[in-house]
Each structure stands twice: as structure tokens, then as C-alpha cells.
């Protein structure tokens, strides 16, 4: 578990802060998920060879598929992930879609329209937040609002990454689809999530802490910001407020 935490601390500092703001008792169920997400998210970027990147992602898909057999338990991330899958009954098909969606990051073609981008955010960000919520015991009735919140959070993170993706030769947004269009969709999904907040029990709130910057970032993009970023003091205050109140 220490290895998973250290990976997240170094590679995904915002999620690390979100986990550390959660009760200590639930951190062991969040760090493996966020470590796996980090591993698969960076797989397409650690090599210039598409085939090698595809092999890395396939390795993780095999890890998920073989969870019941205990394969790859010696791996510092796969081992804790296998334990979590069995203990929490995580839906492996959601994990598989999360990994498979990252194949888009390997290549340089744009998303095939706004709905393809929406599907990408659904499988990555929304799927990850639903997995985190399930790891904390979320009931089936909570899936829609949790996924809506996860989608909005993924959209905010994606918009932060747009300038970097463009610098690396990618085409992050479909033709004719502006950052403000994605921000508006994100705010709509955020409103839908909050409208059904009553379906999400309080015990699941730590899984949603990863979205503490979502609304602020989306509103910055909607106002025209090309590189959205919250001031450090505002980031810390918002995280502490959400952790303390459980409201999102």
C-alpha cells in the first residue's frame, strides 16, 4: 500500500491530497485504484512505439481479467488491486473499459466527434469515480450521480490537459468543438449529479473528494481561460470544506 501511495503522491498530487483528506480507514481502498489509473494513463506516454504502449495496456487488461486467479500478485500495484477487487467486489468490466479507453492516447487522431470524447470521459473519469465509490460500499442507486460527478471531474481535468496535449502533437478536441462547449457539458453533468445527491450515502463521500476543483475549473474555462488553475489557497480551502461537510 505504501508503494501505491507513493506512486500517487509523485504522479497525481491532486488525487493524493484528496485521499489524504479522507478518513484514514478508507485510504487503503482508494490508493490502489488511483495508482492503477496513473499507471494506465501514463502507459501511452512512456514510449514512442505504439505497439509497446498497446502491450503495456494489454498487460493491465490481463491483470484485471485474471484477478480471481491471483496472477501478478507480486507486482506493487497489481497485488493490492487484486485484493481490492475481491474484497470490494469491484466490477472488472468497468476497470477493463477504463484501461481500453486509454488506447486513444497512443495515437494522434482526434476523437470522432463530441460523443466519442464523451464516451472517453465516461470510461475513464466517470468509471474511476464509480469504482472508488463501489470500493467504499456505494449502492447501485448511487451509480448515476457518481458517474455524472466523475464525468464532470474528468472534463475539468481534460481541459487542464488540452494545452499539453496540443504541444505533444495530439488533437484533444473534435473539430468545431470548443473548450467552452466541453465546460458547459461538464457543468450540466455536475448539476445533474447534485440533483441526485440524496442517492449517494455519506460513507461514499471520500471517493468524491477527487472532484473538489471541478466546478471552479469548468467555470474558468467557460469564462475563456485557456489554462485553468485555481489559486493554491482556494484549492486548499475547497478541499477542506468538502472533506469536512461531505458535500460536493
Helix (H, G, I), strand (E, B) or coil at 162: helix
Helical H segments across the chain, by residue range: 2-11, 13-20, 24-42, 50-65, 78-88, 92-101, 114-121, 127-135, 143-167, 179-195, 214-222, 232-245
Which contiguous run of DSSP H or E holds residue 164? Answer: helix 143-167
Cell numbers at 130, concatenated: 464509480
User: Domain containing 113: what range?
Assistant: 2-245
Task: Give the pLDDT score at 67.
Answer: 79
Looking at the structure of the chain, the number of domains it has is: 1
Q: For residue 19, what is the domain's CATH number?
A: 1.10.600.10
pTM value? 0.96
Which tens digit of pLDDT belongs to each residue from 90-107?
999 999 999 999 999 998
Judge whether residue 74 has pLDDT over 90: no
Cβ pair 115, 174 in contact under 8 A:
no
Q: 66 falls in which pLDDT band (50, 70, 90)?
A: confident
Amino acid at each position: 500500500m505504501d508503494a501505491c501511495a507513493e506512486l500517487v503522491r509523485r504522479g497525481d498530487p491532486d488525487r493524493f491530497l484528496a485521499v489524504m483528506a479522507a478518513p484514514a480507514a478508507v485510504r487503503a481502498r482508494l490508493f490502489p485504484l488511483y495508482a492503477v489509473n496513473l499507471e494506465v494513463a501514463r502507459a501511452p506516454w512512456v514510449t514512442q512505439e505504439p505497439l509497446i504502449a498497446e502491450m503495456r495496456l494489454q498487460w493491465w487488461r490481463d491483470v484485471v481479467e485474471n484477478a480471481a486467479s491471483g496472477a501478478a500478485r507480486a507486482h506493487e500495484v497489481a497485488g493490492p488491486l487484486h485484493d481490492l477487487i475481491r474484497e470490494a467486489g469491484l466490477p472488472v468490466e468497468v476497470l477493463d473499459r477504463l484501461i481500453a479507453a486509454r488506447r486513444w492516447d497512443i495515437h494522434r487522431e482526434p476523437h470522432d466527434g463530441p460523443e466519442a470524447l464523451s464516451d472517453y470521459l465516461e470510461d475513464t473519469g466517470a468509471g474511476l469515480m464509480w469504482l472508488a465509490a463501489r470500493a467504499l460500499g456505494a449502492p447501485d442507486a448511487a451509480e448515476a450521480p457518481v458517474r455524472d460527478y466523475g464525468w464532470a471531474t474528468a472534463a475539468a481535468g481534460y481541459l487542464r490537459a488540452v494545452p499539453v496535449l496540443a504541444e505533444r502533437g495530439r488533437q484533444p478536441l473534435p473539430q468545431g468543438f470548443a473548450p467552452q462547449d466541453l465546460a458547459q457539458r461538464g457543468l450540466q453533468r455536475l448539476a445533474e449529479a447534485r440533483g441526485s445527491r440524496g442517492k449517494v450515502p455519506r460513507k461514499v463521500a471520500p471517493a468524491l473528494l477527487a472532484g473538489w476543483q471541478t466546478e471552479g475549473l469548468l467555470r474558468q474555462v467557460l469564462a475563456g481561460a485557456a489554462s485553468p488553475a485555481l489559486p493554491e489557497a482556494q484549492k486548499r480551502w475547497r478541499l477542506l470544506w468538502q472533506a469536512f461537510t461531505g458535500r460536493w
